[in-house]
Amino acid sequence: MLTSGGDCPGLNAVIRGIVRKGIIAHGSSFVGIRDGWRGLLEDDVFEMSMLDVRGLSGRGGTILGTSRTHPYEDGGPAQMREVIARHELEAIIAIGGEGTLSGAARLVRDEGLPIIGVPKTIDNDLDATDYTFGFDTAQSIATEAIDRLRTTAESHHRCMVIEVMGRNVGWIALHAGMAAGAHAILMPEFPVTFEQIGAWVTSARDRGRAPIVVVAEGFVPEGLDEQVADHGLDSRGRVRLGGIANRLAPRIEEVTGIETRATILGHLQRGGSPTAYDRVLSTRFGMAAVDLAVERRWGTMASLKGTEIVAARMSDAVHSIKYVPRSRWDEARILFG
């Protein structure tokens, strides 16, 4: 098994679920692949037993390590086949988000490699599953942070702008904002003007509140042409988003006359121990992935539908992004201002 892409709470619980279910129910043996696709390309693997996964449910990060290595680098599929044959591996369980599962689906489709997926992303933007693990922890951390910032905002009669993760979708902003009673929630899916943001903030102030604005990092106000990125490019050539809160705060203060401060939560949302919900979901995903591997259902992944864990095609999960629908935006807007 391997973990690839960004880390998030729940990865270790998946690993534990895979190993324990595989050994106890199927008599399987396992190797861990270090640092995602890099480990499979460079033959950086080690044997794993139940002792290796002891006490992992509540531990954040990933004991396997992760990277953003592309599966078609450094020899690609041909090199992977050699490593798979050398260790007599019957299946690879790839745990990751959109990039990982896209690569895994391609390796199954074009190269015939035996890969099963487990969907992971704090953004909750993968199709073919109701929720991904990591999301509940991220929204819970964001909610707690907003609650804490509210008390200092009220003490100083300030407006607070809190930036959360969300490159293309606003699920974290939506859930954390609604949970914490934000007076405006700004998401990539629904641009609004600076004037509208100012109106919501002023309305909250006029009711005697300290205005709270929650914004996803990928939000683009009407009138701007692109997302705010203050940190250059990542290893995949994508802009490193972050800083929209710092752009919004002075504009809000200018428009409303309310002293305004910005806080960027950043990687706090991805670190630390997973919530109980994510621990359970991760464990169930891991156990289901083992069953799919035993059944040789290559190209599928564990998926949550309602409260049941089912199989879904990895290609369906990455075919399109799961955006926040208009109905959820309209529902939340009733609470703004």
Cβ atoms of residues 103 and 41 within 8 Å? no
Active-site annotation, residues: 123
Chain centre to alpha carbon of residue 246: 23
151 and 48 assigned to the same domain = no
Tens of pLDDT, residue by residue over 96-117, are 999 999 999 999 999 999 999 9
Predicted TM-score (pTM) of this structure = 0.94
Tens of pLDDT, residue by residue over 13-61, are 999 999 999 999 999 999 999 999 999 999 999 999 999 999 999 999 9
What are the beta bridge partners of residue 265? none
333: exposed, middle or buried (Cβ count in 10 Å: 0-12, 13-18, 19+): middle
Whether residue 228 has pLDDT greater than 80: no
Query: Does 144 appear as a known binding residue?
Result: no
Cβ atoms of residues 88 and 111 within 8 Å? no
Asked whether residue 335 is domain-assigned, the answer is no
Domain with residue 144: its CATH number is 3.40.50.460
CB atoms within 10 A of CB 142: 26
What is the count of structural domains for the chain? 2
Domain range for 109: 2-134+274-319
Query: Does 166 appear as a known binding residue?
Result: yes
Query: Does 299 appear as a known binding residue?
Result: no
- Tell me the C-alpha distance between 106 and 168, whole Å: 23
141 and 261 assigned to the same domain = yes
Closest by Cα among 88, 171, 97, 101 to 136:
171
Query: Does 270 appear as a known binding residue?
Result: yes
Asked whether residue 331 is domain-assigned, the answer is no
- Residue type for position 299: G
What are the beta bridge partners of residue 126? 321
Question: What percent of the chain is predicted at pLDDT more than 90?
Answer: 90
Domain with residue 57: its CATH number is 3.40.50.450
Asked whether residue 332 is domain-assigned, the answer is no
Asked whether residue 112 is domain-assigned, the answer is yes
Asked whether residue 336 is domain-assigned, the answer is no
